[in-house]
Amino acid sequence: MTSRKIFFYVFILILILLPWFNTDIQNDYSISKVRQENISFYEINPCKISLVQFIGNNIESIYQNHYYFRPNNKSPIQCFGRIAGVAVMQKDLETQFIISIGTNSLINLLFQGLFWVFIFSLVPKNKKPTLSKNKFKNLAILMLSYLFAFSIYAESRFYENNFYEFNFNDFKSYLLIFFSCFLISKNLIDMYEERSENLINFIPFIYLFTFIFSGFNFSLLAIVFLYLGLISFFSDEGNTKFNILYVFLSIWWLINSNGSFYFNVGKLRGFTSSVYEFNANLFWIIFFYFFTRGIHKFYIENKKYLSLNSFTNNLSITSFIVLIFGLVSSNVPLINFFSYYLFGFQRYGVSSNKPFAFDEFGVKISWRGIFPSSETIGEFYGFVILILLFWIIKSEVIRPTDYIGIFSASLGLYFSDNRTAIVLVFLISLCYIYLRFFKEFINFKFLLLFFLVFFVGLFMFLLSSTSYEFTSSSIISQSTAFQYDNIYSSYLKLLNSRQEKSSLFSSAFGLFSTIGYFLNRSEMWGLFFTRYNPTYTELLIGSGPLNFGQLYGEVVINDPESFLLPHSSLLSLVVFIGIIPLTMLLAVLAKNLIRSKKNYEFVLISVYILINIIKNDSINYLVVFVFYGLTFLILKNRGKSVFSR
Amino acid sequence: MSVIEEICGNYPEGFEKLDISNDPNYVFVNDPSYSARQLFDADGNKVFVNSFIECEHYVSGGWGFSPLKNQELFLQDIMLYFIVFGVIVSFLKPKIKEFFQN
């Protein structure tokens, strides 16, 4: 490493550490220790002492996990990196200290943005320097910066809770956001163009770096794909049929955007609208269009540089780092804060440091580590195991990183307690081994019959402990339990009336309900149908992409104890795009699966992803949407599998 | 938007500016429809104003936001200049690199 590079890395390290030393130098404070009986110093002196000073006086806060460091995005610029306040809470026998750290959103945008641009710079450069001379480059950056500034205006209700002294009626305020985004985007795109060839192999790392700005409903990752989407649009690339269909749907979604329903974005931050209103819907319609186009363009431009060796290696490394950071951050509160802040997660890492724990009924407690959702990270670990299996069989070599990958992914999958993923990994592995080695010896029809008998037997076994009458009505009975007073959603009304009138509908929904029951989804899906209140047109073509506001705000229900998402990406898609485009999407998928039926890896991974997204909200997470989208494109190949090249 | 509008809100319809400074006996009348605002001077002194006329009078005389808010707005301005400078540097980066390499 050259001395220039060392100097550069030291300089960056200093820049990252510097803000946490920010303190009030005009006064000399005698900083007191945080105690259960007395936190008056921190109540009297908000935003006066730095995080480093706090830690210096409360060393135990680094390792005792009843300390919780939390960012306070609605704090002044001057307060960045300082202690904005301390609160004491009693939870059962544990005394919790919530330490609020000043992290002004506007500074976050610059600080996190430039730090992540630096992270991008760690990816090796292209073999040949390829700084683009694309005539639309600056126009695309200009437009995406405008789009970002517009999103602040469109979702001002969300940002009011995250910005300190930001005048939403003043043009100059938006100018600040616009130029911040422009600065970050310009540097990021330059970095991207110099490294585009290698980035496709580094895609697994998006499970570690989610790149979501603290205090914003926007991700740095979106900048890259929006840029590529805009370039693809200006260059007149893409599918005309898709464009026409999307424009047609968009017009309807916009006309239909009446009302104003707020949605608490929570762990979906960065890839969901915080409000169902005309402007917000307009933003997310444009965002989704360019974003999906961008993913496609990214694949088309870089597919020839895909190296399975490097890709699988990075999968192993990512699963290992995600697991290790999860374990460390659940034990070290300070790392918990910094992993949330510097990796850009939607949610803080889990505070439970017992990944092997069971509850009082002997049921395993799911453990998510640093990732916002245990089920989704479980899916990822399962995916890693499958891809590594394909890779090892193909290459006939096991590298040291493969051992690390298989070990960490297996452990992570167990911790996450995603039982569907565990069963699928087992079954798909068996299928793959059969297809690769025993296809000649065992008749395919016999095997199909075996699986059919196995599943019917399993179904009968599961039903033996409970009656079909009970399971087939589990969703409706849950829906009725959540239904409030005389307020019925249109879909619940339809369900109730059709149950009585149509035996075909009743049987089909009964089967769906039974599947939901065994997947432990009766409550979530029941809740969904209590809320889902579409008109006939909304049922057919949805109410706009990435917008849950209408679903969660339109109908009053008996609120469940905790906030629950639909727990099915398909149900989310029904809300977003309706059943007609969804059926078309599934038909395209089926067509691709049939055409590529000899591409076993593609078919098996698609089945794995499809089953998982039916019972999980996975694709509502930005990184998962990108990862699954790119994986689908990478593995899809009519002639030959990428594993047989 | 002027500073007065930013602090006191929109001008009421048919608003006429009175020469209050030259009338030592002038008494401000509370406007029940106006939400009271707190204004600050450069030394951090506070005053509550209960009508648009009163607010406009004080703001014209140099009163304004709290020192904390003023500081925040000042820092936001500094940040804007810093970012614009950064954007310019980003565009000149290849030339700067070239200059240092030579």
Q: What's the DSSP call for residue B64?
A: B
Across residues A294-318, what is the average pLDDT?
94
Greatest CA separation found in chain B? 74
Q: Closest Cα partner for A196 from A81, A297, A72, A326?
A: A297
The answer to whether the CB atoms of B90 and A187 lie below 8 A apart is yes
Residue A638 domain-assigned? no
C-alpha distance from residue A133 to each of A121, A130, A299, A443 (Å): 20, 9, 20, 56
Q: What is the pLDDT of residues A203-250, one digit of tens each?
A: 999 999 999 999 999 999 999 999 999 999 999 887 888 999 999 999
First to last CA, chain A: 35
Residue A152 domain-assigned? yes
- Number of residues in chain B: 102
The interface residues of chain A toward chain B in range 152-191, judged by CB-CB distance below 8 A, are 164-165, 167, 169-170, 172-173, 175-176, 179-180, 182-183, 186-187, 190
Q: What is the 3-state secondary structure (H, E, C) of A380-446?
A: HHHHHHHHHHHHHHHHCCCCHHHHHHHHHHHHHHHHHCCHHHHHHHHHHHHHHHHHHHHCCCCCHHH
pLDDT of residue A257: 92
The interface residues of chain B toward chain A in range 43-72, judged by CB-CB distance below 8 A, are 68-69, 71-72
Across residues A504-515, what is the average pLDDT?
85
Query: Residues A295, A323: one domain?
Result: no
pLDDT of residue A1: 63
Q: What's the DSSP call for residue B49?
A: E
Across residues A453-477, what is the average pLDDT?
80
For the cut 90, the answer to whether the pLDDT of residue A181 exceeds it is yes
Query: Residues A167, A295: one domain?
Result: yes
Query: Residues A341, A384: one domain?
Result: yes
Which of A282, A305, A328 terminates a domain? The answer is: A305
Out of A76, A179, A187, name the one closest to residue B72 (CB). A76
Q: What's the DSSP call for residue A476?
A: H
For the cut 90, the answer to whether the pLDDT of residue A620 exceeds it is yes
Beta bridge partners of B39: B47
A44: alpha, beta or left, given left = phi > 0 and alpha = psi -120 to 50?
A: alpha
pLDDT of residue A30: 87
Beta bridge partners of A88: A97
The model's pTM is 0.92
Chain A partners within 8 Å of B76 (Cβ): 77, 106, 165, 173, 176
Residue A517 domain-assigned? yes
Across residues B17-27, what is the average pLDDT?
80
Greatest CA separation found in chain A? 83
The answer to whether the CB atoms of B80 and A167 lie below 8 A apart is no
pLDDT of residue A131: 59
Dist. CA A519–CA A401, nearest whole Å:
34
**A601, containing H or E segment:** helix A600-614
User: Does any CB of chain B come closer than 8 Å to the CB of residue A132?
Assistant: no
The answer to whether the CB atoms of B79 and A164 lie below 8 A apart is no
Across residues A569-574, what is the average pLDDT?
95
C-alpha distance from residue A498 to each of A494, A516, B49 (Å): 6, 19, 63
Q: Which of A165, A172, A174 to mutate to test the interface with B (most CBs of B within 10 A)?
A: A165
Which of A434, A457, A480 terminates a domain? The answer is: A457
The answer to whether the CB atoms of B86 and A175 lie below 8 A apart is no
For the cut 60, the answer to whether the pLDDT of residue A645 exceeds it is no
pLDDT of residue A245: 94
Nearest-Cα distance to chain A for B18, in Å, is: 28
Query: Residues A400, A518: one domain?
Result: no
| Closest CA in chain A for residue B74 | A77
Alpha carbons within 13 angstroms on the beta-carbon side of residue B39 total 25
Q: Amino acid identity, residue A46? A: P
Beta strands in A183-270 (DSSP E): 261-262
Quick one: B29 exposed, middle or buried, by C-beta within 10 A (0-12, 13-18, 19+)? exposed
Dist. CA A21–CA A81, nearest whole Å:
7
For the cut 80, the answer to whether the pLDDT of residue A465 exceeds it is no
User: Does any CB of chain A come closer than 8 Å to the CB of residue B87?
Assistant: yes
Residue A594 domain-assigned? no
pLDDT of residue B62: 87
Nearest-Cα distance to chain A for B95, in Å, is: 14
Q: Closest Cα partner for A530 from A482, A591, A580?
A: A482
Out of A106, A183, A186, name the one closest to residue B76 (CB). A106
Out of A78, A107, A175, name the one closest to residue B80 (CB). A175
User: Does any CB of chain B come closer than 8 Å to the CB of residue A7?
Assistant: no
For the cut 70, the answer to whether the pLDDT of residue A391 exceeds it is yes
For the cut 90, the answer to whether the pLDDT of residue A184 exceeds it is yes
User: Pairing mode, if any, of strands A67-72 and A94-102?
Assistant: parallel
pLDDT of residue B91: 92
For the cut 90, the answer to whether the pLDDT of residue A499 exceeds it is no
Number of neighbours of residue A500 by Cβ within 10 angstroms: 9
Can you read off the two tokens belonging to residue A238? Answer: 């893409």
For the cut 80, the answer to whether the pLDDT of residue B21 exceeds it is no
pLDDT of residue A67: 94
Residue A544 domain-assigned? yes
Out of B6, B79, B91, name the one closest to residue A106 (CB). B79
Q: Which residue has the higher pLDDT, A444 or A413?
A: A413
| Closest CA in chain A for residue B2 | A170
C-alpha distance from residue A6 to each of A2, A12, A30, B66, B101 (Å): 6, 10, 38, 45, 18
Can you read off the two tokens belonging to residue A73? Answer: 């995005």
Nearest-Cα distance to chain B for A149, in Å, is: 14
Number of neighbours of residue A318 by Cβ within 10 angstroms: 23
Query: Residues A224, A294: one domain?
Result: yes
Chain B partners within 8 Å of A180 (Cβ): 83
Average pLDDT value for chain A: 91
Q: What is the pLDDT of residues A6-38, one digit of tens each?
A: 888 899 999 999 999 999 988 888 888 898 888
Query: Residues A291, A144: one domain?
Result: yes
Nearest 10 degrees: Cα torsion A233, A234, A238, A244: 60
pLDDT of residue A505: 81
Chain B partners within 8 Å of A187 (Cβ): 90
Domain map (residue ranges) of chain B: 1-65, 68-102
Task: Please give the interface size between A and B, counted as residue pairs whose CB atoms are below 8 Å apart.
Answer: 49
Nearest-Cα distance to chain B for A160, in Å, is: 16
pLDDT of residue A638: 58
Q: Under a CB-based contact definition with an 8 Å cutoff, are residues A83 and A47 in contact? A: yes
Task: Supply the ipTM of this predicted assembly.
Answer: 0.87
Q: Which of B5, B10, B72 to mutate to test the interface with A (most CBs of A within 10 A)?
A: B72
SS3 A22: coil
Quick one: A356 exposed, middle or buried, by C-beta within 10 A (0-12, 13-18, 19+)? exposed
Across residues A385-410, what is the average pLDDT?
95
The answer to whether the CB atoms of A106 and B1 lie below 8 A apart is no
Query: Residues A189, A250: one domain?
Result: yes
Residue A622 domain-assigned? no
pLDDT of residue A439: 78
Can you read off the two tokens belonging to residue A585? Answer: 């999407």
For the cut 90, the answer to whether the pLDDT of residue B83 exceeds it is yes
Lowest model confidence (mean pLDDT) among A119-123, A435-439, A460-464:
A460-464
The answer to whether the CB atoms of B80 and A176 lie below 8 A apart is yes
Count how many domains chain A has. Answer: 4
Query: Residues A397, A541: one domain?
Result: no
Q: Under a CB-based contact definition with an 8 Å cutoff, are residues A529 and A491 in contact? A: yes
Number of neighbours of residue B26 by Cβ within 10 angstroms: 13
For the cut 80, the answer to whether the pLDDT of residue A637 exceeds it is no
For the cut 60, the answer to whether the pLDDT of residue B93 exceeds it is yes
Residue A267 domain-assigned? yes
Alpha carbons within 13 angstroms on the beta-carbon side of residue A44 total 8
Residue A355 domain-assigned? yes
Q: Residue-wise over A435-467: b if at least 16 C-beta within 10 A, else e? A: beeeeeeeeeeebeeeeeeeeeeeeeeeeeeee
Q: What is the pLDDT of residues A113-141, one digit of tens each?
A: 999 999 999 999 988 776 566 789 999 99
User: Does any CB of chain A come closer than 8 Å to the CB of residue B83?
Assistant: yes
Query: Residues A181, A289: one domain?
Result: yes
Residue A444 belongs to what domain range? 308-457
Dist. CA A632–CA A606, nearest whole Å:
7
